[in-house]
A and B are shown apart, each in its own frame.
Chain A
């Protein structure tokens, strides 16, 4: 097999960092080539260069042995390079077919496009109804749509940036089957991931990057997750292991008979949810996305006075009607699923983002005035204690990589000394190093007596850190299972809604 893409001595620096430092390697035609690395290792920058999104400072890219000057994504598309981004860009109120036609460069009628898409869907087994509105689609279906959209351009090379981070195990195996079939039909897939197991299962070759440099490009045949992890990090990953032989006694947080009756067709109604959380306990809420996680988090945060029946108690105090501000003042902290634009403002500095969540604390205020000195020193502490990779607290939050920002946000919430910490998708879309660090931190925090609720689609993560796991399915919450002697078959059944 000959090389379809050759990177030759690619350099790209941003102020203060070298994102790509003399990157050279080849990608073979009709192969699945993974790019593996920690956050800030330069993977995203490299594929953005290939996709024409970022201009390299120097270096060349050869496509089919010809020098290619890729100035923009449209040049990339003309060369047969397409990309599926980690964050989808879809119009919520339009239908699947309408979204597909918006991505087309050529003029094509809607009927023709539908025929073409139908063929692709049938051939590779994408489960997509072309006439449904986007808002009714699950995350997995949205991703399928993004892939189909790329395939309509007849690409030779498809770049996928962390495609599995939003999918359930079942969806992941479906996706892998599709990718393998696509490659059989002549496509070359470049796959960015930090999930070691996946890379070994799926890809033929892997290029490992660290600090902007290529460590090596190897065949995945003789690798296992441990050796690959070692190569990626330069050190061994230690798993966060929960000690679970503790007797929890003191109740901290209770949900009793929580239900919602929303008429909005795009929300899931919660159905008689009961939950008991004890001091120092980590409680995981598992389940496939779109089974009521969003609605449950809304009620726990209470940003919009979401209507519900039932009761929520924090330390025997009914907090049903307390605002977000009042709940935070009671020492409940939140980390939301969306980092940018929800738990952090990208255009504001890290210091300002500290105050965003801490404005209820009197130590940062003198009357109506803000005490920036205190905030800055607090921000420095968060950066230091939680190993956030950034030159200063004046850096804008949007400039940080996903993993770094998440460490910063979780660090901020932990340092506010919460008694209850509620996290939604805490390691979604971040690199392995940050993920391991965050898991370890969560476990340590519980050992100090903080109670934690984690809402996550990542079952492995929950099994690793939680004491108890319950499954959310179509708005109902299963009985909690003790993780120590968990029955995986039973958990699987719960995930499919088989519980009463």
Chain B
């Protein structure tokens, strides 16, 4: 195994496509083993879910949180900080923002939703600031702390929906009252679930692009990610960067959490996220930590969620197949990256 001298930038950006192609190829074996026709199955998995306006709307419903979280995570990952706890930050954002919605549940004010959005971001940022402080003050491993805090956040949500925030008219089910209409995210088209979170994702993508390419802050992230010694030489304060990137990614995850509960769901309950926070890690790397790439990869990964639902319905295979595909994509992506960087020779 040797480092390649002619490490290619072009291939770096093409390798996600190679990874997707390999995933499809090996995925077809899974279908063959299950005695299903790969072509028919892929059609059900990847084409039929988006063959009508409802399907396309659902694609954006799923892609929106993935894109927002992954864009936030890209700040951390660029800086070589591994925030694995976006799921927890998402949950905390839902609790903070959703809590505002429940607190003012008879409000009709136009300011309710903006306040919920603000608190959603604050909740996520607050939860992300804990591993940031632990890392900068005590040099703890942020991968462990951010991951463990995810479970803490999930238990806190559990406590609220079976305890103080339980809907008194909810037949004892572990869920809150629905948010008032003023606290619901407007949809873009009547009858479809796609909501204004799409605009937020677009704006965050645009801002991120500017930050990465034009600003001092983006430059600092790039330098610190490549060489911490050079970053010190340049006079950048690494601890500040750790803190800021955690806050940004936490705020994004919190925002996504609030959008989920005030958008498609409409109330708080136990399972508000089908692992968006974890899947967004794949989305971020598949998109090469590039804001535009992240938008594209979020759409692709969202499709695996939809395809898995359809596959369960029509092919009678478990929806976990969707996670299998996500895993395969990540596996092949890491593989292609590795082979782009290193030459393997068998001795």
Contact = CB atoms under 8 A, between A and B. Distances in A.
Is this pair of chains taken from one and the same complex? yes
Interface in B1-17: 2, 5
B345 A72 contact: yes
Nearest to A105: B347
B227 interface: yes
Contacts of B207: none
Interface stretch (B79-87, B217-225, B296-304, B311-319): B217-225
A343 B216 CA distance: 18
Contact of B233 (A71, A343, A368): A343
Contacts of B2: 72
A368 B214 CA distance: 9
B289 to A, nearest CB: 14
B219 A352 contact: yes
Contacts of A345: 223, 226-227, 230
Nearest to B220: A359
B201 to A, nearest CB: 23
Nearest to A71: B345
A360 B234 CA distance: 9
A356 B234 contact: yes
Interface in A335-385: 336, 338, 341-345, 347-348, 352, 355-357, 359-360, 365, 368-370
A369 B229 CA distance: 23
Contacts of A224: none
Contacts of B236: 325, 359
B215 interface: yes
A446 B347 CA distance: 55
Interface SS of chain B: helix
Contacts of B274: none
Given A370-B215, A370-B219, A359 B234 contact: yes
A368 B235 CA distance: 16
A74 B345 CA distance: 10
Contacts of B235: 323-326, 328, 359-360
B234 A357 contact: yes
Nearest to A325: B235
Contact of A341 (B217, B227, B234, B345): B227
Interface string A201-244: 00000000000000000000000000000000000000000000
A341 B229 contact: yes
B232 interface: yes
Contact of A370 (B214, B223, B226, B347): B214
A342 B347 contact: no
Given A356-B223, A359-B234, 17 more contacts: A72-B345, A74-B347, A301-B233, A304-B232, A323-B235, A343-B233, A345-B227, A348-B223, A359-B216, A359-B235, A365-B216, A368-B215, A369-B215, A369-B216, A370-B214, A370-B215, A370-B219
6 closest A-B pairs (Cβ-Cβ)?
A325-B235, A303-B232, A324-B235, A341-B227, A342-B229, A345-B230
